[in-house]
Amino acid sequence: MDDAGRVPYFPRTMSAPVRVRFAPSPTGYLHVGGARTALFNWLYARRTGGTFVLRIEDTDNARNSQAAVDVILSGLRWLGLDWDEGPLTGDADGPVNGAHGPYFQSRRGDVYRRRAEELKASGHAYEKDGALFFRMTREPVTIPDLVVGDVVRPLTDREALDPDWVLVRSDGVPVFHFVNVVDDLEMGITHVIRGEDHLSNTAKHVALFRAFGVEPPKYAHIPLILNLDGSKMSKRDQGASVQSYVDEGYLPEAVINYLSLLGWSAKDVPELFTKEEIAPRFELADINRANARFDLKKLEHFHFEHARRLAPDRFVQAGVEALLKAGIDTSAFPTGYVSSALLTAQEKGKLLKELPTWTDFYFAADDAVVFDPEAKAKALAPAAMPVLQKLGERFAALPGFDAVSLEATLKALATELGVKVGALVQPCRVACTGRLVGPSLYHLLEVLGREKVAKRLARVSTEG
RNA sequence: GACCCUAUCGUCCAGCGGUUAGGACACCGCCCUUUCACGGCAGUAACCGGGGUUCGAAUCCCCGUAGGGUCGCCA
């Protein structure tokens, strides 16, 4: 402690261990911009061997809810952004990691009261109308920012009229600017990485830190994420909520990859990566200064690439869950069959939500394959029945039921009958899957197996 | 009204005084494949405008314009 009785603030030198934080308010959902802020904090912590703190800013504003807290925690976990310090559950009084708690601001009232008294005692704050006001500096404040450089923020004309601002409301609840600074101070935060929407207000924060007798942390204000048309992203906009990615069946790896490249890039780093791979390359200086626009098409591209590269066992696991969500229970089938079946669709790189459409036929009863009307009209015309029957006979006579043999057999028959390969491929596909599109025909037949294929072929060629 | 940030293909990024302004997504054509895709090859497409500085500006400065943000007893 120093002469004034304060706990000495952590010296901010280059060698000081980095401590960053993500401090969301639980007011509804996890915004994609917030997710990226969390990601950048996570990357910086990992890159520097520092500590990533999660703090819930739930000061009473009548908008907070338990559900919103849970959404934030589950969203971060889904993205794989693990925090070193913070709550372990959504319970404000529950278990935590770290020695700087509580990590819910609603449980830190005594800290704020103590700090408010400190400011009153030092003459930086005064009471008026039942509220506590901060004696704001009238001089322009220089905000040192690692992304945009030094920003000089003078008072606006409105502020010049009445520069002081409220620290603690008349109802006793401290405001954001106050608790945010106090907590960053108490928690030893060294780098504040947050959205650019906070840049202007940082003047208040810098002044507050100084009033406490310490230098502010380093700031890095990152550009915002806007809609494709440049407008602000709000809750209803497509892609605004992290939960929507879970629902739509995106892989978290894809979302992370896409978000990493929204406002950040490094030289000689391939565009496709995992957060673990680029963490060592993450520098705040490489953060872009201009706002970015959210392009779902590009996110889809990243999903496509990551889905195809996913480890087979993980792909199967994700696929089984996606099917179950769609009402298809695969548990009655042999696990080997289930994985072989799902794996025939992996190369397609489809969203998990679309997986049932590509693989449901594997799990349908042979006499209950549902035919897409258009597919049936197009490929199962009466004229196709004789060739289909012939194909069934050839398949049945096959010694081995593998993709290579199946393909050779089908093509040989086509040549023999003097028809195009498609004249056999299409009816066969529709007879076995009900659809015109799907996994590679020969591989899908191999997985279905001799018996199922025979039954399905027989079903259409006899029923017509 | 004031203040702050920003400005390269439609989108995301490269470029950091001298480049035929590069890559990715999207789009288009061809090849491959007689499922949809993948893949291969090629292509369309950008330095917001105006002044400076300089032998030389996408790169530096100024003005304008545009977009975004902030100015609460919201966070």
Q: What's the confidence (pLDDT) of residue A15?
A: 62
Q: What's the confidence (pLDDT) of residue A12?
A: 43
Say whether the CB atom of A292 is under 7 angstroms from strand B.
yes
Distance A20 CA to B12 C1' (A): 26
Distance, in Å, from the CA atom of A18 to the CA atom of A45, rounded to the nearest integer, reads: 7
Convert the pLDDT of each residue in A209-234 to its tens digit. Answer: 999 999 999 999 999 999 998 888 88
Convert the pLDDT of each residue in A404-434 to its tens digit. Answer: 999 999 999 999 998 889 999 999 999 999 9
Q: What's the confidence (pLDDT) of residue A51?
A: 97
ipTM value, please give it.
Answer: 0.95
Q: What's the confidence (pLDDT) of residue A355?
A: 95
Q: Which helix H or strand E contains A37, and what residues bound it?
A: helix A32-48
Convert the pLDDT of each residue in A349-360 to its tens digit. Answer: 999 999 999 999
Q: Is A131 helix (H, G, I), strand (E, B) or coil?
A: strand
Q: What's the confidence (pLDDT) of residue A5?
A: 34
Q: What is the pTM of this model?
A: 0.93
Instruction: Kindly state the average pLDDT of the residues A83-107.
Output: 95
The region of weakest confidence among A85-94, A200-209, A226-235, A334-343 is A226-235
Say whether the CB atom of A347 is under 7 angstroms from strand B.
yes
Q: What's the confidence (pLDDT) of residue A409?
A: 94
Instruction: Kindly state the average pLDDT of the residues A46-71.
Output: 91
State the nearest residue by CA to the C1' of B75.
A176
Q: What's the confidence (pLDDT) of residue A10?
A: 42
Q: Is it the case that residue A7 has pLDDT exceeding 50?
A: no
Distance, in Å, from the CA atom of A371 to the CA atom of A427, rounded to the nearest integer, reads: 11
State the nearest residue by CA to the C1' of B1.
A157
Q: What's the confidence (pLDDT) of residue A268?
A: 83
Q: Residue A126, Cα to own-chain centre: how many angstroms?
A: 44
Strand partners, A195: A222
**Rounded alpha-carbon distances, angstroms, from residue A294 to A36, A224, A229, A238, A259:** 12, 10, 9, 9, 9
Q: What's the confidence (pLDDT) of residue A1?
A: 34
Q: What's the confidence (pLDDT) of residue A463?
A: 63
Of all residues in chain A, what percent carry a pLDDT higher than 90?
A: 86
Distance, in Å, from the CA atom of A54 to the CA atom of A64, rounded to the nearest integer, reads: 16
Convert the pLDDT of each residue in A323-381 to its tens digit. Answer: 999 999 999 999 999 999 999 999 999 999 999 999 999 999 999 999 999 999 988 88
Distance A260 CA to B21 C1' (A): 25
Q: Which nucleotide is nearest to A105 (CA to C1')?
A: B75
Instruction: Kindly state the average pLDDT of the residues A75-88.
Output: 98
Q: What's the confidence (pLDDT) of residue A11?
A: 42
Q: Is it the case that residue A60 has pLDDT exceeding 90?
A: no
